[in-house]
Amino acid sequence: MKRFFFSLLNVFFTISLLSIIGCNFLKLSKEHYALQDKCEKQCEAWSKSYKQKYPSDEFSYKSHYNNKLNQCFILVKYSRSQLKSLKNINGNKLYGSFLSKPDSKTIICSVLENKCISEQEWDLLVKPYMED
């Protein structure tokens, strides 16, 4: 009888723990998606504002809410030049830039204090900001 009681108690606590964890996970997922959606909208607004100021510049961008850093980032690739930039959209802070000449000579390559010498290195430095 004692063994049955402890088994029943163990099942009860296990189910309770799983339901608490599951509810918290769903709550975190909803919050994450809400923050990602907010980030996308902020990046879209930045894009529209930039296009109004510089209508001849062509560019593409990717937005990403970094959950670990609790920051919204925008990665911008300009079409007419070999220019890329990584910005924190909330603080309007430039985190990094990459610029090269058409002959593939790197002119600027850095992310915060980290310097680099190639586009591949720059992409690796940017990766942690654009992924979780």
What does the pLDDT profile of the chain (132 residues) look like in tens digits?
556 555 544 545 555 434 444 444 444 578 888 999 999 999 999 999 999 999 988 999 999 999 999 999 999 999 888 899 999 998 889 999 999 988 778 899 999 999 999 999 999 999 999 997
Q: How many CA atoms lie within 13 A of 44 on its CB side?
A: 6
Q: Where are the domains of the chain?
A: 2-130
> Model's pTM, two decimal places?
0.74
Burial 35-70 (b: 16+ CB within 10 A, else e): bbeebbebbeebbeeeeeeeeeeebebebbbbeeee
